[in-house]
Amino acid sequence: MSNSNCQAVRPRVLIVDDDLISREMLRFALEDEFEVEEADSGESALLSVAHIPPQLVLLDIEMPGIGGYETCRRLRESDSFPIIFVSSHDTLEERVEAFDCGANDFIVKPFDAEILARKVSLAIDACIERERLAGETQRLQKTAMGFLSNMNDSGVLMEFMRSSISCSDQYQLAKNLLEATVQYGINCHVQIRHPGGVITLTPHGAATPLEESVLEKSKEMGRVFQFRRRMVINYSMVSVIVVDTPEEVDIAGRIRDNLCILAETAEAITETISMRKDSAEKAEQLQSASLNATMSIEEVRELYRAQLNESRRLLGKLIDEVEESFIFLALTDRQEKMVTEIMQRNVAPVLKLFEDTVEMEQKFGEIIDSLQSQKQEGVPDVWLF
């Protein structure tokens, strides 16, 4: 086997920008990891791609001749490699335009070289993985669409509720919500926001950074928001974006109503999942506190018993030492007897108190039994329906 075959081929990245300085900055950031090619216009980029397709294209927006958006559209007609726009403009309109013409991500100038290289590497890896799964995904989609074409709208909602009512995590809920939109026959992206983070899913898997940024910028635009053929359904923790809304008014209205019901249901279930997780955490904390309290009370109980025994021993020793000291005090028999009686008369009630510990032991037992009972019962789970 030759040396060239043993060496790994570096991914090829095409930089398309009419500005020489911008191209040089991008090349400097990427040339250590990638095989970098350059094009100074949309026209030359299309020729270069037709000759040798790259693994990824970095594309400027504003260029003379064919602009960045049109170049992206033409590339998307025949190629599926990742396309990342690199621009100094960062508005929702420009991101939506980039999204519409088929881009995968949007990087704002000035950029961080390390972050740029990382984004390029991840985008290429994700494209390779998508291509590997493309055949299986198409087969599953055809099977699902053939089966689900016979289901009516209420059936989709009922199936979503049935499969989601016992969900224990938000990721599975997001998958169920996405599956419900597939059953309606529409291309949607879904996002669930919860205390632990944000989950964004699309029909092709995890969302690209550009898709996530579009949802992030759209979530504050009201309950139902539509721009061009995109429709966004927003709740506080759930958002659904329809990528290609039908132009027929009645069909678009039915889709809007169904998605609002789905999103509202997903919102309620998301709250329930968070409550259940919070309940489980509190139950664990209470059980830990109960165990610690039980151990502490057992220690106090044993210490109490040890102190009782030691007190009895010390009082007995006191009487013995006093009686033994009589020989050195030159007391008469009558005086010795008087001192002994005084000692015994006052010590006897104390010893009687020590002996009467049944009630104290019973209280200790009741407290320990109560704590152990709470530990076994725990905290009941929280359910919405």
168-224 pLDDT tens trace: 888 889 899 999 888 888 888 898 888 888 888 888 877 788 877 877 777 777 788
Q: What is the distance between the alpha carbons of residues 318 and 151, in angstroms, rounded to a whole number?
A: 93
Which of 276, 300, 319 is the last residue in one of the domains? Answer: 276
159 with 103, same domain: the answer is no
351 with 217, same domain: the answer is no
Which of 97, 127, 157 is the last residue in one of the domains? Answer: 127
Query: Does residue 385 form part of some domain?
Result: no
Query: Does residue 15 form part of some domain?
Result: yes
The residue segments making up the domain with residue 17 are 3-127
105 with 26, same domain: the answer is yes
Q: Which class for 285: exposed (0-12), middle (13-18), buried (19 or more C-beta within 10 A)?
A: exposed
198 with 72, same domain: the answer is no
Query: Does residue 291 form part of some domain?
Result: yes
222 with 140, same domain: the answer is yes
316 with 371, same domain: the answer is yes
143 with 231, same domain: the answer is yes
Query: Does residue 171 form part of some domain?
Result: yes
Query: For residue range 242-296, what is the model confidence (pLDDT) as tens digits?
Result: 888 888 888 888 888 888 998 889 888 888 887 877 666 666 667 776 677 777 7
Q: What is the distance between the alpha carbons of residues 145 and 138, in angstroms, rounded to a whole number?
A: 10
Query: For residue range 25-44, what is the model confidence (pLDDT) as tens digits?
Result: 999 999 999 999 999 999 99
CATH number, residue 102: 3.40.50.2300
304 with 334, same domain: the answer is yes
Query: Does residue 154 form part of some domain?
Result: yes
What would the DSSP string read from start to end of 315-330?
HHHHHHHHHHTHHHHT
295 with 170, same domain: the answer is no
310 with 265, same domain: the answer is no
pLDDT value at residue 281: 65
Q: Give how many domains the chain has, as a whole number.
A: 3
The model's pTM is 0.46
59 with 100, same domain: the answer is yes
140 with 257, same domain: the answer is yes
Q: Is residue 1's pLDDT more than 70?
A: no
CATH number, residue 217: 3.30.450.40
pLDDT value at residue 377: 56
Query: Does residue 116 form part of some domain?
Result: yes
Query: Does residue 383 form part of some domain?
Result: no
Which of 276, 293, 324 is the last residue in one of the domains? Answer: 276
Query: Does residue 359 form part of some domain?
Result: yes
Mean pLDDT, residues 148-161: 70
